[in-house]
Amino acid sequence: MTTKIAITDDHQLVLKGIAAMLDNVNEVEITGAYSTISETEKGIAENQPDVLFLDINLPDGNGIDLSKLLSKKYPTLKIIALTNFEDISFVKRMLKNGAHGYLLKNTDKIELMKAIKTVLSDTVYLPDTLHNKLLYQSHKQESNKHLAPKLTKREMDVLRGISEELTTEEISQKLFVSPKTVETHRMNIMSKLGAKNSVGIIKIAIEKHLL
């Protein structure tokens, strides 16, 4: 059975390079090569590919939003991000928004085929380097959670108020406590987090996954 492949990238060299690598593979057929989001949407509707290699940076938008849209519209379509971005934040955002895999543009034919077969088996595909980075970051975040200081329920309420950029008066009205009480909680939060001001409170709270 032939697997229909589509590629979206605004660089012709990338489009031609991927097409050339897959050209002599019998079980694969390239049904479309697109350079914009609008071309991709039209092509996907017409050709209904099984797998889409999708760049993140495109002239008329980004692949993250397009992945989210296409995954909802075509539930069986397997999307593999194809990009130069090695940052784990991009990996997470693509996977969160419907992508089934993530490849860097310096990939080779063997890895391309491995990625295609992996996503077609309903398994997420990541290169070993990115997979290890993801595991390391998850482990680090888990460690940070355990190291996070314990805030009381009321302190958490005040922390959320600070994160929403509410004034002391607005937080006091929202929580039905006096401004002085809010300030006491704020000082306790700063002490527990080791912060010097409200900006520091938010920064450290995010790092400790309290927000």
- Spell out the domains of the chain, with CATH numbers in brackets: 3-138 (3.40.50.2300), 148-207 (1.10.10.10)
Q: Which residues contact 167 (CB under 8 A, 6 or more apart)?
A: none
CA distance 70 to 99: 10
pLDDT of residue 137: 64
Per-residue pLDDT band at 183 (split at 50, 70, 90): very high
Whole-prediction pTM: 0.65
What value does the mean pLDDT of the chain take?
90
Nearest to 38 by CA among 12, 14, 16, 70: 70
CA distance 12 to 34: 9
In one-letter notation, the amino acid at residue 135 is L
pLDDT of residue 143: 52
pLDDT of residue 179: 93
| Cβ density class 50-74: b for 16+ within 10 Å, e for less | bbbbbbbebeeeebbebbbbbbeeb
3-state secondary structure of 76: coil
3-state secondary structure of 101: strand
3-state secondary structure of 29: strand
CA distance 48 to 76: 10
Least confident of 17-26, 105-114, 131-140, 182-191: 131-140
Q: For 104-127, what is the mean pLDDT?
A: 94
**Phi/psi at 58 (nearest 5 deg)?**
-130, 155
Asked if the model's pLDDT at residue 139 lies above 70, the reply is no
Per-residue pLDDT band at 138 (split at 50, 70, 90): low
- Across-strand partners of 5? 30, 51
124: left (phi over 0), alpha (psi -120 to 50) or beta: beta
Q: For 124-148, what is the mean pLDDT?
A: 70
Q: What is the pLDDT of residues 63-108, one digit of tens each?
A: 999 999 999 999 999 999 999 988 888 888 999 999 999 999 999 9
pLDDT of residue 66: 97
Contacts 24+ apart (CB under 8 A), 111-115: 112/18, 112/21, 112/22, 113/22, 113/25, 113/28, 115/80
pLDDT of residue 205: 87
pLDDT of residue 67: 97
The token pair at 187 is: 């000082």
Q: What is the pLDDT of residues 142-170, one digit of tens each?
A: 555 556 688 999 999 999 999 988 999 99
Q: Which residues contact 28 (CB under 8 A, 6 or more apart)?
A: 2, 3, 5, 22, 113, 116
